[in-house]
Structures are given as C-alpha cells and as structure tokens.
Structure 1
C-alpha cells in the first residue's frame, strides 16, 4: 500500500471555534475509524509557526533563523500519514477529515525511494 500525507491548513489569525471540543472528539473518532480500517499510520498537531526554526545552507554554512520560512495567511497546523490502496481511497479519508475539521486538507502521496 502507498502512504499519503494529509496536511491540515489553519488560518494564521482568528480564534478557535466555539465547538473545538466537539471537533477534537470527532477527529479522534475519525482516527479510530482509520485505525480500524488499517489506514492510520501516524498523526500529529503542530505548534504555531512562530515556534519554528529554519535552517538554510548557504555557501558552506548553515544559517539559523527564527519563525516560518514563508509568510502566508495559512500554516500547517497538523498532519496525518495514512496508507491507502490508491489515490481515491486516500481522498476518501481526506474528505472525511476536511468535513470533521472544517479546514482545508491537502492529500499528497509520499515518495517511494
């Protein structure tokens, strides 16, 4: 089976929704459903982009800077790695996740090297 990354995009500004507890409960139920189906591999939420440290190789040295590498109106708030038989199956899980979170979810195959 191929692995897919389900990336969750969050807006940089705004307040958490009033029903965040419900959303997190529904996300846990979806994770349990994916585990039962043998699709779930790994998931994690991420701290705010302001906690990031960027390492960039330049001329034989590595430059270290605080904060996100790019400025945007959204950031990666979390991710899930799943295994699926094909893209259609991965999109099935991605659609369910987007519906639960009411946030954009990007589905991308993990490269096989």
Structure 2
C-alpha cells in the first residue's frame, strides 16, 4: 500500500544551521533515501521550494481567487515528501520515525486513496 510522508519543518531553520550541521543534514537525508531505495519502498520524493513561491487557488461564488503564499500560516511548513509503498500502516510509521524530519519537525503519514 502506498503512503505519503509529508515533511513539515520550520522554514528558517536551515539558514540558522552551521555549514557543518547542514552537511550532516544532507547526509542524513541521503542515507534515509538510500535506505528506502534499498528496501524497495521508495516510489518518489522531492523537496519543495519555500513558501514565498507558493500560490493558493480557491473558487468562491464561481470565481477563482488566486492568493500569494501558502494556505495555512503555521510554525512548520510543508518542506517536502516521500511517497512510499510498504505492507501496512505500521511499516509506514516505522519509516516515518526513521526520517530525519521527525527529529526537527513533523512527519505526517497518510495512505494514498487509489482512484
């Protein structure tokens, strides 16, 4: 079954890290991604650009409204995702707990609703 691991983190946190901490972070995500690949669980992943590049669209009274920025204003922002294919929710939660984002943000796990 496929699950989306949505990685939320404080957007400004990366800029406050030292170069050595950033290097460690890149290595941690690289190792995590490789572990998913090796296990045959990785379907896809990407990092998202900052919230300043976001555009929100909604339709009200039949007219579309386009707004700059993300929909929700919160402490953590959606920073990226992993789409994984694993046996069940327990396996997805185990992978989420191993994700580096879980140590400095939040990893939301949602099953994919196949259409």
Q: What is the TM-score when the length of structure 1 is the normalising length?
A: 0.88
Distance in 2, matches of 1:67 and 1:99, equals 22
**CA contact under 8 A between 2:9 and 2:104: conserved in structure 1?**
no
The answer as to 2:31 corresponding to 1:23 is no
| Partner SS for 1:93 | helix
CA distance in 2, matches of 1:108, 1:21: 29
Aligned position for 1:6: 5
Could you say what secondary structure the match of 1:21 adopts? helix
Q: Secondary structure at the match of 1:25?
A: helix
- Matches of 1:69 and 1:17 in 2, distance apart? 27
Q: Deviations over 1:21-75 (max 9, x none)?
A: 1111121111111111110011111111121111111122211111111211111
Gaps of 5+ in 2: none
Q: CA RMSD in A?
A: 1.7
* Structure 1 counterpart of 2:105, from 91, 95, 103: 103
- What is the number of equivalent residue pairs in this alignment? 112
Distance 1:16 1:94 in 2: 24
TM-score (norm 2): 0.87
